[in-house]
Amino acid sequence: MFRNIKKIRSALISVYHKDKLSDVVRLLSDSGVSIYSTGGTFEFLKENGFEAKAVEELTGYPSILGGRVKTLHPKIFGGILARRDNEDDIRQLEQYEIPPFDLIIIDLYPFEETVASKAGHDEIIEKIDIGGISLIRAAAKNFKDVLIVSSRKQYGELQSLLENKEGETDIDDRRRFAEKAFQNTMLYDASIFKYFNETAHSTDVQVIEEMSSSPAHELRYGENPHQKGVFFGNLYEIFTQLHGKEISYNNLLDIDAALRLINDFDEATFAVIKHNNACGCASDADTVEAWRKALAGDPVSAFGGIIVTNREIDKACADEINKIFFEVILAPQYSEEALQILKSKKNRIILETKKCETAVRQYRSLLNGLLVQDADSLTETAKHLKTVTQKSPTEKEVADLLFANKIVKHSKSNAIVLAKDGQLLASGVGQTSRVDALKQAIEKAKNFGFSLSGAVMASDAFFPFSDCVEIAFGEGITAVVQPGGSQRDNESIDYCNKVGMTMIFTGFRHFKH
């Protein structure tokens, strides 16, 4: 295999931050590498006892225009871009007395940090790096011959390379560093673009930043075995995996749905997620009881599902949970006894969640482009509820309506949720008509032995006709929460007034396609 080994004999160093630079330079000096550097970097090296040559000695020009121009010179870029296997390039290096550079180390001006510090416009403009970006791009382009270190974050990797390979690099090393270099310049330019275009942050730039700045995790496969899957992001900011097999593409979808749902609850709550929908959910001061009530919502669908809670799981709770088969469990904490019980299944994925916000934007590729939107972060509270019927809800009904509304928000449209006493009785999800969603929920509730007398109903969008509230009243449902906004809202309101039901408007739709 052709490895194209190169020995590092000369290096150009131009960095803004000087921390940890000495360790790198010491390795280079010990290996006899000739070092060239600019301005402040040169002074730093001399002060710390390292031998270096100022780029001014090479170019014959001082740093000019207040430091705006230091390295932009043919003797610098010629030494970087020269192709070592090209006779004409080598002849020109000799003709113009240009030394070839094997290693370029750059740390760019801190543009994004300067913007974040609320500095003035002129100061921000001066932190747009020109020479550094140009050096990075030149070295990355010529990765066949040159190693580019484009950020101080790579010093550790460079040190390992220097120590383990005694100052030599192969083509794979240089290509890997070049790839990172182009990623860094893309992010740097994206942050500048965002500063100049204030509307860009919600669209193009965020896609660039979030996908290219995040590590890529190759998954076993995508939604199905014949599809490839990759996750961009740092999962370890969200949770720690304590046990189990590798997390799959479908697991991640359900985990995201589980965390978005549970984050809307302050009271002790358990939920069971299946295909991104809650098939069981309950709140109760007793966590064991909360689990039992959540499971009762649909013990059939719970098989192979995702379990999530916002409270510590203790031994008593783990004993109950361990009675069923499930794929993943998420909790902020586990007792030692609980962990031992839950670890009894080898492949069971046990995740300890951290206090971390989920993504504030959502992306979906379709047709020949990309859809971008803000995540649905609105969670209604009592202040959002507007009673539109003659009869007002009781305190208990308000609690159940808010509970049901949280669940319907996270359910696939068209969606209807039926709840009572802090327990999901049943839901109808992903239906092409709201009536079908309600009928599905009613049938499920009855199949699992629930009485709907005194229950409440939540809808993710308005009722275009009064048919849903008519059906609901016939099953004993006493209160309804919906966004409102239909031209025929009065038909539903009038029916509720006629039969003594309560109807609440929130003013906010929660479609989820």
Task: Classify 375 as helix, strand or coil.
Answer: coil
The whole-model pTM stands at: 0.69
pLDDT at 332: 97
Under CATH, which number does the domain 234-353 receive?
3.40.140.20
CB 148 within 8 A of CB 101: no
Residue pLDDT tens, the chain, 513 long: 456 888 888 889 888 888 888 888 888 888 888 888 888 888 888 888 888 888 888 877 777 787 788 778 888 889 899 998 898 988 988 898 888 999 999 888 888 888 888 888 888 888 888 888 999 999 999 999 999 999 888 888 888 888 888 778 888 888 999 998 988 888 888 878 877 876 444 455 555 555 555 566 788 899 999 999 988 777 888 999 999 999 999 999 999 999 999 999 999 999 999 999 999 999 999 999 999 999 999 999 999 999 999 999 999 999 999 999 999 999 999 999 999 999 999 999 999 999 877 778 788 888 888 788 889 999 999 999 999 999 999 999 999 999 999 999 999 999 999 999 999 999 999 999 999 999 999 999 999 999 999 999 999 999 999 999 999 999 999 999 999 999 999 999 999 999 999 999 999 999 999
pLDDT at 442: 98
pLDDT at 2: 53
Task: Kindly report, as residue ranges, where domains of CATH 3.40.50.1380 are found in the chain.
Answer: 6-207
Residue type, 19: D
Report the 3 state secondary structure along 162-224. Answer: HHHHCCEECHHHHHHHHHHHHHHHHHHHHHHHHHHCHHHHHCHHHHHHHHHCCCEEECCCCCC
pLDDT at 402: 98
Task: Classify 103 as helix, strand or coil.
Answer: strand
C-alpha distances in Å from residue 116, one per residue of 111, 120, 130, 192: 9, 11, 20, 12
Sequence-distant (6+) residues with CB within 8 A of 38 are 13, 14, 54, 55, 63, 70, 71, 131
Can you tell me the distance from the alpha carbon of 482 to that of 501, in angstroms, rounded to the nearest whole number? Answer: 14
pLDDT at 96: 84
The structure tokens 């500048």 sit at 192
Cis bond upstream, residue 414 (ω within 30): yes
Sequence-distant (6+) residues with CB within 8 A of 40 are 18
Q: What angle do CA 241, 245, 251 make, to 5 degrees?
A: 80
Q: What angle do CA 5, 99, 51 make, to 5 degrees?
A: 95
CB 504 within 8 A of CB 393: yes
CB 147 within 8 A of CB 9: no
Q: Tell me whether residue 352 is exposed, middle or buried, using C-beta atoms within 10 angstroms of its C-beta: 0 to 12, 13 to 18, 19 or more.
A: middle
Instruction: Give 382-505's CATH code, choosing from 3.30.365.10, 3.30.70.20, 2.102.10.10, 3.40.140.20.
Output: 3.40.140.20
Can you tell me the distance from the alpha carbon of 9 to that of 348, in angstroms, rounded to the nearest whole number? Answer: 52
Sequence-distant (6+) residues with CB within 8 A of 127 are 109, 110, 111, 114, 119
pLDDT at 206: 56
Catalytic residue (choose from 75, 275, 315, 384): 275
275 among known catalytic residues: yes
Asked if CATH classification 3.30.590.10 holds for the domain at 6-207, the reply, yes or no, is no
Cβ count within 10 A of residue 181: 25
E-state strands within 222-313: 230-232, 239-243, 269-274, 277-283, 305-309
Report the 3 state secondary structure along 476-506. Answer: CCCEEEECCCCCCHHHHHHHHHHHCCEEEEC
Can you tell me the distance from the alpha carbon of 119 to that of 26, in angstroms, rounded to the nearest whole number? Answer: 35
pLDDT at 199: 47
Can you tell me the distance from the alpha carbon of 425 to that of 442, in angstroms, rounded to the nearest whole number? Answer: 9
The structure tokens 């360790």 sit at 23
Total residue length of the chain: 513
Catalytic residue (choose from 141, 165, 343, 391): 141
Residue type, 228: K
141 among known catalytic residues: yes
Can you tell me the distance from the alpha carbon of 388 to that of 411, in angstroms, rounded to the nearest whole number? Answer: 25
Which alpha helices (DSSP H) does 386-466 contain, by range?
A: 395-409, 434-447
Structure tokens at 182: 């182009």
Task: Kindly report, as residue ranges, where domains of CATH 3.40.140.20 are found in the chain.
Answer: 234-353, 382-505
Residue type, 482: Q
pLDDT at 147: 92
Can you tell me the distance from the alpha carbon of 444 to that of 460, in angstroms, rounded to the nearest whole number? Answer: 19
Residue type, 20: K
Which among 278, 298, 300, 290 is positioned nearest to 320, based on CA atoms?
Answer: 290
pLDDT at 211: 56
The structure tokens 């300067």 sit at 114
Structure tokens at 458: 């939540």
